[in-house]
Structure 1
Amino acid sequence: MRAARIVQLLLLLQTRGRLTAAQLAEQLEVSVRTVYRDVDALHAAGVPLYGEAGHSGGYQLLEGYRTRLTGLTENEAESLFLTGLPGPARELGLGAEVAAAWLKLTASLPPELRDRATRIQQRFHLDAPSWYAEPDDTPALAAAADAVWRERRIHIHYHRWRAPTEVTRTLDPYGLVLKAGRWYLVAAGKRISTYRVSQIRELTVLDEDCRRPADFDLAAFWQSYLDDFDARRHVGTATIRVSPELRGNLVDAVEPAIHRAVEETASAPDPDGWVTATVPVEKMGHAHRLFLGFGADVEVLAPAELRDRITRSVAALARTYSPG
């Protein structure tokens, strides 16, 4: 275990350059003291590794030093073939390159690992798009990806849902995110924002460098964006009664936040098995459509406005479907 960790530390320094003990500890998921011991072991083994103190210091390999300890374990070789998403790669204009890289990687593996990798490809398939939704049409995706990669500023004509619906923006593109089959561009204008790539009507890559902050973390920004999105769209709560039949299938019927709220706030079941719970809701119109869609398996108790809207809809349905 320690030998594998020391090799990983060495490869981190080889691929990323100077890193502090704290950064290495975070990457290796160990304590800083453990990093110090591993560095001492590398020194004892004759690895040309040196450290510098101070705010901008850290550990670094002597310039030009390269290790040959880059062989793949069985699990590592298998995991590489699980990360491939040929559909998104094609959308980015990299389908041929990914296929060629996989061929080269497969050819470089020893026979036993090559067989395991082939079995992984034959037995597992990753499909990114969500159910019940057509994939986005993203003609601007390849150009956006090129701008992100080459760090070039872009000018876009963008269609959005709120007025004014047609806007133009000059942006510094920071990254692309694939979420449930939909591509989003993370870019900075006056502030860092997200843009759905399918809504970009025109995109021009400018002959200007993009000012991308060196410490920008795309994954951390995206998680923060998702958290903020949930906080903004859940504008209130509703108190509902849920039938035992629906509760048993709720995990597949509603978003995780509502299912989680039902499980966390559910009362003891009544004699018929129904429970009362408080759940987060979006705007009144969305909540009205959501709970009305569950028919007689959900009763809205509060707020009164939502209950009244559903009552009127039920009465209208009764008139529509009444005989004669």
Structure 2
Amino acid sequence: MAKWDNMLSMLWMLRSGRKLTAAQIADSLEISVRTVYRYIDALCASGVPVIAESGHDGGIRILDSFKETPLFFNSLELKALVDAFKFAQGAGYPYTEELQSVLKKVENGLHDEQRDDLSRQTSGLDVIVPARPPSATRLLRDLEQAAKEGRTVRIAYRKANADQAYERELDPYGLAYDRNEWYAVAFCHRSQGVRTFRVDRIEWLEQTELRFDQPLHFSASTYLRDQSEREREADGPLTVICIEGESDALNAICAHWHLRHYLNERSDREARFLLDVPTMNKYLPMYLITFGTAIRVREPIELKCKIREMAYGIAKHYDNNTD
């Protein structure tokens, strides 16, 4: 057991109110008596009033006035906290400043040994923070607040490749982070239905006086998954699609916003999907051919033939004998 776990275990043993000898604690934690006394010194330095009484009825105890338990984290727990902050920051989490403040409080309570260890543990992982407009944080906070309060908002929303933004009134149901983007799932008054809006395409947002009732047990992430499922061309029949190839190419295919929902099995060199035939025929040949020789479709034969025909058509189009 790691040092900090042992110290916390010893603290809980002493909080039982019983006097314990150093030997009893050492036997229980399977450590040496000398280590027990080092832990006592560390607990005292943390503000825990540990008393060691000598004599026949002596022992180690904690003053009855002690109520608070100091926070002890092992090195992996501390690393997880810092790494989680890095990922949250990379995702544009709207409360990264507050999260950073929490980490500062935790770090201020660490011993020098823990701080040095934390620095070593977290130096090997970085998350590249994408450029996001300063307004993104405020938009995410306002949308989350509106969802919590059941308040309708008015936004200016610009669709992809649109020349201008259009005003809409939304009842925000929730936020979800997917495909490296933030999405607001909301009831759109203009469309009279639930729609998904990319937050980075919202040019401005203002609160209104209108109120709405949040659907019971609504989940933005579940809605996004269900929406992807509905975008299939047909309900069946289903077929197994087996693709082998280079790791980077397979990673890109498995992370595709639509295909990833149908990933059935994955290894280092192969990925298997379960998808309906109409969707496969309509979308996959054009998509998969963009990977060139980095991948190879193993099955079904139907998909291999369609990609072959498409490649042949492209080659014929660029044949030197044609005008």
- Which bin holds the TM-score, normalised by the shorter protein? 0.5 to 0.7
Q: Is the 8 A contact 2:173 2:186 kept in 1?
A: yes
Judge conservation of contact 1:86–1:95 (CA < 8 Å) in 2.
Answer: no
Which residue in 1 is equivalent to 2:56? none
> Which residue matches 2:138?
142
- Alpha carbons of structure 1 residues 123 and 170: separation in structure 2 relative to 1, 3 Å: same
Tell me what 1:153 maps to. 152
Match of 1:111 in 2: 112
RMSD: 4.9
**C-alpha spacing 1:307/1:262, structure 2 compared with 1 (3 Å):** farther
Counterparts of 1:283 and 1:168 in 2: how far apart (Å)?
Answer: 37
Is the 1:174–1:187 Cα contact (8 Å) retained in structure 2? yes
Residue 139 (structure 1) shift: 3.9
CA pair 106-207 structure 1, distance change in 2 beyond 3 A? farther
State the TM-score, normalizing by the size of structure 1.
0.53
Residue 314 of structure 1 corresponds to 312
The offset of 1:289, in angstroms, is 1.1
SS of 1:124's partner is: coil
Return 5+ residue gaps in structure 2 as ranges: 13-66
3-state DSSP class of the match of 1:155? Answer: strand
Mark the CA change 1:208 to 1:125 in structure 2 (over 3 Å): closer, same or farther.
Answer: farther
Structure 1 window deviating more from structure 2 (113-122 vs 252-261): it is: 252-261
Q: Secondary structure at the match of 1:109?
A: coil
1:134-157 per-position Cα deviation (integer Å, ceiling 9, x unaligned): x66584542331342364532112
Compared CA separation, residues 249 and 200, structure 1 to 2 (3 A): closer
Residue by residue over 1:33-80, the C-alpha shift from the partner in whole angstroms, topping out at 9 and shown as x without a partner, is xxxxxxxxxxxxxxxxxxxxxxxxxxxxxxxxxx73462331433322
Cα gap change, 1:105/1:290 in structure 2, threshold over 3 Å: closer, same or farther? Answer: same
Aligned residues: percent identity?
19
Q: Does residue 293 in structure 1 map to residue 290 in structure 2?
A: yes
* 1:292 partner letter: I
The answer for the alignment partner of 1:178 in structure 2 is 177
Q: Distance in 2 between matches of 1:197 and 1:80?
A: 27
2:263 and 2:274 in contact (8 A); partners too: no
Equivalent residue letter for 1:289: M
Deviations 1:116-145 (A, max 9, x none): 33333323224477xxxxx66584542331
SS at match of 1:251: helix
| 2:154–2:208 Cα contact (<8 Å) kept | yes
| Distance in 1 of aligned mates of 2:232 and 2:123 | 42
2:197 is equivalent to residue 195 of structure 1: yes
Native 8 Å contact 1:159 1:200 kept in 2 = yes
Q: Answer yes or no: is the 8 Å Cα contact 2:85–2:96 preserved in 1.
A: no
Q: Distance in 1 between matches of 2:276 and 2:158?
A: 29
How many residues are aligned here?
A: 239
Match of 1:254 in 2: 253
- Paired residues of 1:85 and 1:126 also in contact (CA < 8 A): yes
Query: Could you report, residue by residue, the CA deviation over 1:202-249 in whole angstroms, capped at 9, with x for unpaired residues?
Result: 322335667556x6465xx41x2343134223336667786x6x3887
